[in-house]
Amino acid sequence: MKVAVIGGGSTYTPELVSGLSRERERLPVSELVLQDIDASRRSVVGEMAGRMLERDGFSGRLTVTGDLDRALDGADFVVVQIRVGGQAARLRDETVPLRCGCIGQETTGAGGFAKAMRTVPVVLSLAERARQLGDPWIVDFTNPVGIVTRALLDDGHRAVGLCNVAIGIQREIARRLGVEPGRIRVDQVGLNHLTWVRAVWLDGEDVLDRVLSDFGDELAAMQELPPRLLHELHAIPSYYLRYFYAEADVLGEQLSGEPPRAQVVADIERELLELYRDPSLDEKPALLEQRGGAFYSEAATELIASLAAGSGDVQVVDVRNEGTLEGLAADDVVEVPARIGAGGPEPVEQKPLAPELLGLAQHVAAYERLTAEAAVTRDSVTARKALLTNPLVREYAKVDELVDELLAEQPEAVTR
């Protein structure tokens, strides 16, 4: 089995390598390829990965390369974890919207739109090359996952989107209940970065009421939302929903002068890369937990192993709706529990979303549809419609300014 990681110079990579090593009995990888366009990063991260694999007794081959074809040729699975434009682009995504009175965030709102416009064409290009060299499963961890996965599926690729939010809340609930994570399954439903946990299954019994009663206040505090909201919704919102449920508060915090998350992450990445240069380091450092993406390795390796074996276990992934969530279009990409077989994920049947959840999901789904189209067609009118539809933008005066500002340094992004 050959696994190719595109964006292998990411500081996330040791997290993924750790997971692949841990699951080597279930996931017999004969070749792991780390591909990255940044020679310095791929060298540092590649050497770090090599030490980790050697420590764990990896019997396969590790290839570190800048050659995309070398990575894709014959790959069974292609993991995409790229950041087009790097942290500098992320910083613009998080700061430019603030000048227009909008939240700045890299995956949702206007910042997520800008990132999608940069990212979708690049991912589609590499996916097309992968199709020419074989027919791998493409596992997309590149944000905005819902929009990128939609573009991949629209283009006919065997693709599934993956996010770490579901496994994160699963592990948190298991910790609070004092049980092994494998005994917990969360019914997290909605769109990527716009999800709600509507059931928590412990050994087949829904214990959501118990979780909300015993730990609701603490979970709400983690999301920086009032406990009453969780009880009234009778669901646990993803922490990304704070951007919608407390928009004014978030905007005020971002305008207060605190360093943007992009700047914090850039500092963490520099420190991580310096740590990775230590020839004695052969395990992921604790600092990596501050980078974000907790439990990414577990989610990714579980998904790849289940696709390879056709195990049929249930995992939360991003797939076509196909009637799973009533009120959303069949071709919308939703984030829901799905049975992972060799033929791909099959969504688990879901009850309809409550009106207070469905309304927001429909709104964001319409925005994602328009953004995916604009990223491919490069049409300025479609781009403006996408931002007008975005719940965190909405106003036409802001739309004009944002389109000009966000795309000013990437004129190829829109045909004007």
- Does residue 386 contact residue 374 with C-beta atoms inside 8 Å? yes
Q: How far apart are CA 105 and CA 112, in angstroms?
A: 7
Beta strands in 150-283, from DSSP E residues, in sequence order: 159-161, 184-191, 194-202, 205-206, 236-237
Alpha-carbon distances, residue 287 vs 70, 86, 159, 272 (angstroms):
32, 20, 31, 7
Paired sense of beta strands 77-80 and 137-140, if any:
parallel
Alpha-carbon distances, residue 275 vs 47, 282, 285, 290, 296 (angstroms):
12, 10, 8, 14, 20
Q: How far apart are CA 385 and CA 42, in angstroms?
A: 39
**Is residue 276 flagged as an active site residue?**
no
Instruction: Point out the catalytic residue in the list 240, 243, 276, 367.
Output: 240
Compute and round to an integer the Cα radius of gyration of the chain. 21
Q: What residues form DSSP beta bridges with 236?
A: 197
Count how many Cα atoms sit within 13 Å of the Cα of residue 93 in the half-sphere of its side chain.
28
Two tokens at 164? 């770490």
Q: How far apart are CA 104 and CA 113, in angstroms?
A: 11
Residues tagged active-site: 240
